[in-house]
Each structure stands twice: as structure tokens, then as C-alpha cells.
Amino acid sequence: MTAPASIDDFRLRLAEVTETLPKRLRQCAEYIAANTDRIAVSTVAELAAGADVPPSALMRFCQILGFSGFSEMQRLFREAYSPGWPDYATRLKNLKEGGAGSPAALLAEFVEAGRLSLEQLAKSVDEAALAQAVAQLAQAGTLHVVGLRRAYPVASYLTYVFEKMQVPAMLHDGAGKLDHRHALRAGDACIAITFAPYSDETLALAQDAQMRGLAVIGITDRLTSPLARHCSTVLTVPEVDFGAFRSLSATLALSIALAVAVGSARG
């Protein structure tokens, strides 16, 4: 078996083998799936301790995925994430060097980025997918909403709107490292929101909901997003950035339209 050539291939291979693994190797798979951001910076011993398995089990797990060992798996993640999205200190430095430092100038730039994002959304929205998402959510029991990091404000706002419209909804926010996947029930639906670099916790919940037979509505940046593999319906949102800072203008517009349409359909 050849080693995965990309992070997307890695996630796909991981999803394919997890259910077939014995107990300790499955512990490795579940821990790695929830902590892929640690692979590039952790040792074998650290990851093994996190998964509560001996280092030899983690090494065996790497080989099952097609790697010669842990070093090859770690190299994949180091190479993939090394270019990365610039950190916030770098973004602020670039803005200052570009002469966009005044509050009024920044406001104008972000307003323009938001306007362009909304215009692109109006032109590119998949109306059939949006209608399908509304139909699936309108027929569901409890709506489970997950979105972390940049997507957290969207997930939080969606849950707030659903509750105001008396639509049963639950926000999965990972607070206190609590895992509420046991709350997923037959007949429920999941709304998962994530953008590059994708949240592993969001992907994990979406995958779990899919495996339980729930409708999963994905809100993401592209159809090739790893989230798409776990969704019954995918809604893509373009967001124009300024200085590597990305707004949520289009994402929030799509989300409030989705929520109100679902509330209306449920009566």
C-alpha cells in the first residue's frame, strides 16, 4: 500500500481503515483524527501517550496507513502546513508595511471585501443544494450545529436563531473538551461549518453523524473540501480576504437565509 500523498488522501485513508482496526490501533486512529494539528510538532511518545497506547502501537498504525514509519507520516504534515496561512503578527506587519494602518482605511477595505464576498455568493449560490438543505433540516428532529475557530461565530449565531424560532438545536462547541456525539439521534440532522485550514473536530463530528445515518449539511469554502465527503448536501461560500484577514459576510448571509427558511418550512 502506498502512503497518502496529501492531507486529503490521509483523511480518506484514515476514514477507510478506522472501523476495521483492533482496539489499540483504533485508539490511535481516533486520537490522530482529532489531533492532526499535533502530528507535525509532536514525537511518537507524545502522540502515543495522548492515544493511551504504547509507541509500538502508533508505529504499527503508521504502517497500516501505508507509511514506512512515523517520520514519513510526520513529514507529510510538516510539508503540507509549513507554507501555512500567515500568523496574526505577520498579517499585521504586512498591513503596516502596505500603508493600510488607519482605522478608516481598514474599515473601507473590509467593507469592500464584504461587498465582493456577498456579490460572489449571489452569483455562485447553488439554489438546488440550498433548497435540498432546507428540506432535510425541516424534516429533522434536533439540529446539531458545529463550527470551531473562524466558523464558531456562525455556528453560535445559527443555534441562537434556531432557538428563537423554537427549532430544537444544539451547539457542539468543544468547550472543556467535552464530546457530545452521544446526543446524535436517529432522525436528527447536523450542520457542519469549516474552512481551510479545516477543523478536525468539525470533520470528526460530521463523519460520526454521517455514520449514524443523519443528514449532514456542510458549509465550507469549496466542493473539494474534506468536509464534503461526509455531507448529504454541501453549500460553498466565497469569502474575499483583505491582508489575509477573512470576513464572514457571505457566510453569515447564507446562514441566516438557511435558518429562516428552515424555520418557515417547519411552521
Domain ranges of the chain: 7-81, 124-266
- Domain 7-81: give its CATH architecture: Orthogonal Bundle (1.10)
Given a contact cutoff of 8 angstroms between Cβ atoms, the answer to whether 189 and 214 are in contact is yes
According to the model, what pLDDT value does residue 56 have?
A: 92
- Please tell me the distance from the alpha carbon of residue 181 to that of residue 185, in angstroms, as a whole number: 9
Lowest-pLDDT choice from 56-60, 156-160, 175-179, 251-255: 175-179
Asked if residue 88 has pLDDT above 60, the reply is no
Average pLDDT of 26-49? Answer: 84
Asked if residue 5 has pLDDT above 90, the reply is no
Residue 153, CA distances (Å) to 25, 149, 158 in order = 35, 8, 9
Nearest to 205 by CA among 91, 34, 21: 34
Lowest-pLDDT choice from 87-101, 139-153, 168-182: 87-101
Pick the residue with more confidence: 84 or 114? 114
Q: How many CA atoms lie within 13 A of 131 on its CB side?
A: 3
pTM to 2 decimal places: 0.63
124-266 has which CATH code? 3.40.50.10490
